[in-house]
Amino acid sequence: MKHTISVLVNNRPGVLARVSSLFSRRGFNIDSLAVSTTEDPLVSRMTIVVTGDEMVLEQIEKQLYKLIDVIKVRDHSEDPLVDRELSLIKVNATPQSRAEIMQIVEVFRGQIVDMSESSLIIEATGDSEKVDALLRILNPFGIREMVRTGKVVMVRGGRE
């Protein structure tokens, strides 16, 4: 099962290396990882999507807490979330297919951010399922390149 966890860490050099080393050493699988600073410049947030059962998740949390620079670990399995990821997709587009692609992008509320004789770059934001669906539909046109940020999340409501 996939879990999304937020890890608040001290914003210091080497923290990302410590976290990623822990995951590889203990054999935990990272599906995606997004890192950025937070409202407090001394603190960074890592949003990590991992696959594993409850036992694995418990070990991940406990092992993360052993890292001196880890401040807080939170599993979002039970939380109501806003989750988003950003993707850039470079897709083959001939003058004949261009219009059709642009219609699809509109349905997904994406944007065309670059255009050439033979290709388009599409920017799409949404939860992971939406990005997956867009990719599926664009696939027949020929996807030349694709990049995704990995999921970032925020708990809904007044809580932090």
Partner 1 sequence: MAVTGAQIVAAQLKKHGVEVVFGIPGGVVIPLYDVLYDESAIRNVLVGHEQGAAHAADGYARASGKLGVCIATSGPGATNLVTGIANAHMDSIPILAITGNVRTNLIGKDAFQEADITGITVPIVKHSYLVKRVEDLADAILEAIHIATTGRPGPVLVDIPVDVTLATLPSMPEGKLDLPSYQPTYKGHRRMIDLAAKTIAEAKKPVLYVGGGVIRSGASAEMAEFARKLGVPVVNTLMGKGAFPEADELSLGMVGMHGAAYANYTMNESDLIIAIGARFDDRVTGRLDKFGVGAKKIHIDIDPAEIGKNVAVDVPIVGDAKLVLTELNKRVKKCEVAEWWEQVRRWQEQYPLTYEQSTEQVKPQYVVEQIYELTQGEAIVATGVGQQQMWAAQYYKCKRPRQFISSGGLGTMGFGLPAAIGAQMACPEQLVFDIDGDGSFMMTVQELATAVTQKLPIKIAIIHNEYLGMVRQWQQLFWRGRYSGTPLVSLPDFAKLAEAFGIVGMVVDRPEGVRPALERALEIKDAPCLIDFQVVPEENVFPMVPAGGALDEVMTDPALWKSLDKKETGKAG
Q: Which residues bind partner 1 (CB under 8 A)?
A: 10, 13-14, 17-18, 21-22, 25, 55, 58-59, 62-63, 65-71
Q: Which residues contact 27 (CB under 8 A, 6 or more apart)?
A: none
Four-CA torsion 51, 156, 38, 68, nearest 10 degrees: -50
Q: Identity (one letter) of the amino acid at 112?
A: I
* Closest CB 76 distance from partner 1, rounded Å: 20
Nearest to 115 by CA among 97, 136, 135, 133: 97
User: Based on CB atoms, which residue is closest to partner 1, 16 or 143?
Assistant: 16
User: Based on CB atoms, which residue is closest to partner 1, 55 or 147?
Assistant: 55
User: Based on CB atoms, which residue is closest to partner 1, 66 or 136?
Assistant: 66
Q: Are 9 and 21 in contact (CB under 8 A)?
A: no
User: Based on CB atoms, which residue is closest to partner 1, 17 or 147?
Assistant: 17
* Closest CB 66 distance from partner 1, rounded Å: 6
* Closest CB 81 distance from partner 1, rounded Å: 24
Cα radius of gyration rounded to whole Å, the chain: 19
- Three-class SS state of 5: strand
Q: Give the tokens for residue 74.
A: 């939170």
* Closest CB 94 distance from partner 1, rounded Å: 46
User: In sequence order, what E strands does the chain have?
Assistant: 2-10, 29-37, 43-51, 70-75, 81-92, 111-115, 119-126, 143-148, 152-155
* Closest CB 22 distance from partner 1, rounded Å: 8
User: Based on CB atoms, which residue is closest to partner 1, 32 or 63?
Assistant: 63
